[in-house]
Structure 1
């Protein structure tokens, strides 16, 4: 039996904890293509393994990684094994600084993909964060033996991507979402609306995702509904989001978030699932 793929990256807001809730919320009538404009760690995609899919992210480092896993996983594995043998504090900061160098664009796509995985698996809390200039700026984490290369999982992801029709896009979420036609299903997992000034983890790209983008996302959901496309969205459970999506089906779910540095602050929080079909 083939290994079931799982996310290759740690990802703030990843969906592995609520996978079963998401599966319960899938449209009963089924769907043609699966479209995910904010792919992130890809937990829901890998769980469902749809035969026809379009995935997208604004973060080009992330989409490059998925393309490399699909097309050249062996080279990625070899480079990650090398990085594992060199791992130490000095090497981490040397790799982190690569995107600040003038010749960063001369790195091969495999080298960039390996850098993404290495930094993600060894940085503080697995937090993929960039500054306003787009430079990765998360400090090194405290891990005795981080799993830098999960060969079996990388090959499982490669097998899924190669055996199925999965198109990988890079760019704005709306462009990919609007490729959907009646009968398709769109899963939207945007950067969440922040519940406090310090609770936002939207800086995995330099572009950010503010209130204006949340409003644009809601208008996109209206467009999808008018086209006869079914959508399911995850977001923060707060008055702003509930009011914004008034008239849509909203279901509350509970999830434990572990991104806080203090264990006693990693409480269960409430999120919402939003859909243009009944999910309650």
Structure 2
């Protein structure tokens, strides 16, 4: 797609983010992608959206705090930048800000305050790991980084400009609501919480309640529905045998990805992921 701005890029770290996999994902996208409405029901850090920069898109995430950040960047980026400059990179301050979602009335706090808190915690917490407990409370510890890039003004302004100059609809809720909006002129990229390769590698803490096999099965049924409606989709997931078996009737390609979250540094490195699609290249 012509006229892409390289400054339009992810403004947060995100578990399973696709920035490093873009070169492997791109060859599996449909030809003439610009003719489609781009739909991404699990937007996360937005690496694929920001790489493609489609003129018409529908994005969604179940994480209300994350979607508030997207909306705030679109609607009031200068106020957000000003608020981000007020934060302190200290342990005591970090835990004070982290604790705000334990207090009554947090959901009623200003949208800019909440968006600023989200970015600050993301940039200063350990490993940039967005993780919540079963009550939906952020619980990643302080990262102790000397000079985290809390206020990335060029990227925030570029993303704001893209969201305002393109036709991007932003939703917060169950992914099914945006799949219902798809038609034959849509292309859907799905990047759900991954099925764990093993019990010890299980990480689904970026949404309250997590994901399990029943959620994966429901998503596969949604993919079957897209196929029945003649809508192209590409899905990323782990290469767990359960996933490979679940999607055995679709085209699958294994790709190598860097594993970014593991408490043991020796456990990080290349790991197989799978790209699943319902169309011919």
Do Structure 1 and Structure 2 share a fold, with TM-score over 0.5? yes
Map 1:103-122 onto structure 2 (within 5 A): 103-122=105-124
* Residue aligning to 2:76: 72
* Residue aligning to 1:40: 44
Match of 1:271, SS state, is strand
CA distance in 2, matches of 1:185, 1:4: 24
Equivalent residue in structure 1 for 2:15, among 7, 12, 22: 12
- Aligned structure 1 segments of 4 or more residues deviating by more than 6 angstroms: none
Equivalent residue in structure 2 for 1:53, among 52, 57, 69: 57
Match of 1:11, SS state, is coil
In the TM superposition, what is the alpha-carbon distance from 1:104 to its structure 2 partner? 1.1
Instruction: Render the CA deviation track for 1:232-263: whole Å, top value 9, x for unaligned.
Output: 00001122111101111000100111212333
Map 1:15-26 onto structure 2 (within 5 A): 15-26=18-29
Identify the range of structure 1 (253-262 vs 208-217) with the bigger mean alpha-carbon deviation.
253-262
Please report the RMSD computed on the Cα atoms of aligned residues, expressed in angstroms.
1.2
In the TM superposition, what is the alpha-carbon distance from 1:29 to its structure 2 partner? 4.3
CA distance in 2, matches of 1:3, 1:172: 30
TM-score by length of 2: 0.96
Gaps of 5+ in 1: none
Whether the aligned pair in 1 keeps the contact of 2:84 and 2:116 (CA below 8 Å) is yes
Map 1:174-193 onto structure 2 (within 5 A): 174-193=176-195
Equivalent residue in structure 2 for 1:223, among 217, 222, 225: 225
Map 1:80-91 onto structure 2 (within 5 A): 80-83=84-87, 86-91=88-93
CA distance in 2, matches of 1:54, 1:215: 23
CA distance in 2, matches of 1:44, 1:106: 32
Number of aligned residue pairs: give it.
277
Whether the aligned pair in 2 keeps the contact of 1:188 and 1:234 (CA below 8 Å) is yes
Instruction: Render the CA deviation track for 1:101-136: whole Å, top value 9, x for unaligned.
Output: 112123100000000000000001111000111110
Gaps of 5+ in 2: none
